[in-house]
A = this chain, B = another copy of it.
Amino acid sequence: MKVGIIGGGAVGLLTAVNLTKGGHQVTVYVRREEQKHEINKGGVSLVPDYKNFPVRALLLEELRKEDIIMIAVKQYHLSDILPRLQSYLNIPLIFLQNGMGHLELLSPLKDSHQMLLGVLEYGALKHDDYTVEQTGKGICRIASLSELSATSNQTIHKLATSSYPINLEEDWYHMLAQKLVVNAVINPLTALFQVKNESLLENEHLLWLAEKLCQEACEVLGLSSGKSWEIVKRIVYQTKENYSSMCKDIEAGRRTEIEAISGYILKKTQCDLVYTSFAYRSIKALEMNAGGLKDD
């Protein structure tokens, strides 16, 4: 099956490799000529063994007919991408963004397009323009945002292989909200204390704070706090060796995704979410102490 992946970042490259492993013919659509060239020279290389996978690269403006398109750009680049997808009425479009802020952007298209949302449990780490690493374990969860045709349904089912296990979820809101809770717990705490994910399980005080953050996020997003807490702990365990993206952003003095994560939760309620506020303010304080913020 021909799969197009828009975005040559960590998630785009890792998804390209995992789908290529599964026998799909993958094209990554990138912004820069240089990255296109590097990938076409030798494919995408997967850490730790640096085995190369035959992924093709094209520029975004060269977007062609694909059986399925996955959109793996950051949330704030989505508005540039959406106009290019206008004519793709009948093929599944899978959006792989963090947070929930992109739902408003996608909503006007959901009656006309075959749209799905995906979230990854594991992390992806880009080493250079054609080298990527999967950090932690887990699957990709996918839920449809719009009513899918029978053909689209079949296409989605063909996407899954042992190299790219997929769970199809009934309820996209629940799926995204659940992922947001996980991020709202793991990211600010690991960033504030500059620790690996596993510290949240091993340090009783961090575990205590993690549970408080989980409870507050669940309250706002309408999830069961007990169930979500079990899920958070499972994800932390599956990614215990990871440094979260926010932890690395703070270490590198980069802007974090705190606004899209804890900031989003705080905006969704009139209640005083004190633990979430403390975490949010802490990350903002660290960003501010780092001085001028670089986007990545």
- Residues in A lying within 8 Å of B, measured CB to CB: 192-193, 195, 199, 203-206, 208-209, 212, 274-275, 278-279, 281-282, 284-286, 288-289
Distance (whole angstroms) from the CB of A251 to the closest CB of chain B: 14
Distance (whole angstroms) from the CB of A89 to the closest CB of chain B: 46
> Is the beta-carbon distance between B275 and A203 smaller than 8 angstroms?
no
A-B contact pairs, 6 of them (CB 8 A): A193-B285, A203-B288, A208-B281, A209-B282, A274-B275, A278-B279
Q: Chain B residue with minimal CB distance to A286?
A: B193
Distance (whole angstroms) from the CB of A259 to the closest CB of chain B: 13
Complex A-B, nearest 9 residue pairs according to Cβ-Cβ distance, in ascending order: A205-B285, A274-B274, A205-B284, A278-B278, A205-B281, A206-B285, A203-B285, A203-B288, A209-B281
> Is the beta-carbon distance between A289 and B199 smaller than 8 angstroms?
yes
Chain B residues with CB below 8 A from A284, complex form: 205
Q: Chain B residue with minimal CB distance to A285?
A: B205
Distance (whole angstroms) from the CB of A217 to the closest CB of chain B: 15
> Is the beta-carbon distance between A289 and B204 smaller than 8 angstroms?
no
> Is the beta-carbon distance between B281 and A278 smaller than 8 angstroms?
no
Q: How many copies does the complex hold?
A: 2
Distance (whole angstroms) from the CB of A188 to the closest CB of chain B: 11
- Given known contacts A274-B274, A274-B275, A275-B274, A204 and B282 CB-to-CB distance under 8 angstroms: no
- Alpha-carbon distance A145/B263, docked complex (angstroms): 48
- Alpha-carbon distance A288/B200, docked complex (angstroms): 12
Distance (whole angstroms) from the CB of A198 to the closest CB of chain B: 12
Chain B residues with CB below 8 A from A208, complex form: 281
Q: Chain B residue with minimal CB distance to A287?
A: B205
Chain B residues with CB below 8 A from A274, complex form: 212, 274-275, 278
Distance (whole angstroms) from the CB of A2 to the closest CB of chain B: 48
Known: A209-B278, A274-B275. 9 other contacts (CB 8 A): A193-B282, A193-B289, A199-B289, A205-B281, A205-B284, A205-B285, A206-B285, A209-B282, A212-B274
Which of B205, B281, B288 is A288 in contact with, Cβ under 8 Å? Answer: B205
> Is the beta-carbon distance between A204 and B288 smaller than 8 angstroms?
yes
Q: Chain B residue with minimal CB distance to A272?
A: B274
Q: Chain B residue with minimal CB distance to A208?
A: B281
Most buried by B among A205, A206, A278, A285: A285
